[in-house]
A and B are shown apart, each in its own frame.
Chain A
Amino acid sequence: MATLPNREEKLSLDTFVRGLWEENPVFVMLLGMCPVLAVTNSTMNAIAMGLATTFVLVASSTLISILRSWIPRQVRIASYIVIIATFVTVVDYAIQAISLDLYNALGAFIQLIVANCVILGRAEAYASKQRLHTTLINSLGMGAGFTLALLSLGTVREVLGSGTLLGIQVMPENFEPWVVMILPPGGFFVLGAWLLLFAWLKQRRERRLLEQEGASNAG
């Protein structure tokens, strides 16, 4: 296959860091939101899901990057899907072997990692075009960003919805938990709130940049 790559990237710190903030798969690219809403009713679940997804992302991206010149263009999506599904199956069995309780808590969403648009999206947009080491680092960054997003929801929802963090009571005894937080609507509200916060921060920064520009122009 190998069309000329759009732009072969040189490995740098930015390759990793991009996935955390600037190109955060959830908050910026708005991908892979199903698990973010579904399994973040507790911090433990969020961490586990983040690690599982990162593993599949890194493993499949790396393999696809290695095989990229050998996969014909017409069947590339099908190939990516098979590879991703394979690693998801691997993770599925691994988690069952590690902890049945965790497996039951995450439920079908482990297998649903296959349908996570982040992984297929990155395979198509990046892994199929870039070299092995850049792909490896970039997917690690994306996975970390995804896990960060999961954590930001998981912690808030667990603390407000159960009064605990990782199972340990953190809110005062007489705190009446906001049960809605661990129910479906809570997921929507908390994610919406985070997006609101980021949009507000972005707006503030842009305004400040404009003011600075205005000041330097005047001065």
Chain B
Amino acid sequence: MSEPQVAPAAPQTPGFRMIRSLGAIAMLSGLLVVLVFQYTKPIIAENQRVAIEKAVFTVVPGASQRIDIMLGENGVTVSGEDEDEDAGEKVYAAFDDQGNLKGVALASGAQGYQDIVKLLYGYDPECACIRGIKILKMTETPGLGDKIAFDPAFLKNFEALDAGLNGAGDALAHPIVAVKAGKKQNAWEVDAISGATISSVAVAKALERSMQRMAPLIQRYKQELSRVGQ
């Protein structure tokens, strides 16, 4: 290995030495990163699986098994290593111990007060209604907007939120909307938290957006979905 030059003025290092040093460091770094990545990949995947499962079982009461599904216009495909873009959107079909379909969990999001609110919700095809929600990520105002995550009165909105289809079966019969606190009259309305209207509206919007697109599909392919669990 050549000795480094010691000189008072800026040494004229040949370009080759610079490239060689940078190249060596880049290779070393790359190697280290790849090693760590490979080692942690299975652990991280497991962590994520556990986290998703916990959330899915929260929003679909009575479920104990979960199968990832791609649901699209063309039907149901079990989610595997190769995800075909046209297969549709990822949903989590949840089954009980006997393999009966208890519901489908889906993710959605909408702009809240500060930033996007991401949530997971459970849809029961039998009653054509939403059974529960779980806020996955939000940056709403602590003490006000963040109540959407745990306020019992607010969460009660989602124990049997009507998401029935219209006659043609291609859209919701009634759009899911948020109404002012205490003004809820119909099963498809969400009672907003007083003082946290925007955050509550975000939740309703996220559900509405997702359901308009997915509820018809889930109903259409209900049989296939049930069969996956058998």
Contact = CB atoms under 8 A, between A and B. Distances in A.
Q: Do A and B touch directly, given a CB cutoff of 8 Å in the complex?
A: yes
Interface stretch (B11-19, B147-155, B171-179, B211-219): B11-19
B36 interface: yes
A214 B71 CA distance: 84
Interface in A130-159: none
B142 A97 contact: no
Given A74-B13, A75-B22, A96 B32 contact: no
Contacts of A75: 18, 21-22
Interface stretch (B39-47, B76-84, B185-193): B39-47
B182 interface: no
Nearest to B35: A90
Contact of B48 (A67, A100, A183): A100
Given A70-B21, A83-B29, A179 B142 contact: yes
A86 B1 contact: no
Interface in A82-103: 82-83, 85-86, 89-90, 93-94, 96-97, 99-100
Nearest to B12: A74
B167 interface: no
B127 interface: no
Contacts of B11: 1, 73
Interface string B39-65: 010011001100100000000000000
B44 A3 contact: no
A69 B10 CA distance: 15
A93 B25 CA distance: 20
Nearest to A3: B6
B47 A96 contact: yes
A78 interface: yes
A93 B37 contact: yes
The A contact surface, by secondary structure, is: helix
B126 to A, nearest CB: 32
B21 A79 contact: yes
Interface size class of B (residues with CB under 8 A): 20 to 34
A179 B143 contact: yes
A63 B17 CA distance: 19
A90 B33 contact: yes
Contacts of B6: 2-4
A93 B26 contact: no
A4 B7 CA distance: 9
B15 to A, nearest CB: 9
A104 interface: yes
B183 interface: no
Nearest to A68: B4
A106 to B, nearest CB: 13
A1 B18 CA distance: 10
A189 to B, nearest CB: 16
19 contacts: A3-B6, A4-B6, A70-B21, A71-B25, A72-B17, A73-B13, A78-B22, A79-B22, A79-B25, A82-B26, A83-B29, A86-B32, A86-B33, A93-B40, A96-B44, A97-B47, A99-B47, A179-B143, A183-B141
Interface of A: 1-4, 67, 69-75, 78-79, 82-83, 85-86, 89-90, 93-94, 96-97, 99-100, 104, 161-162, 177, 179, 182-183
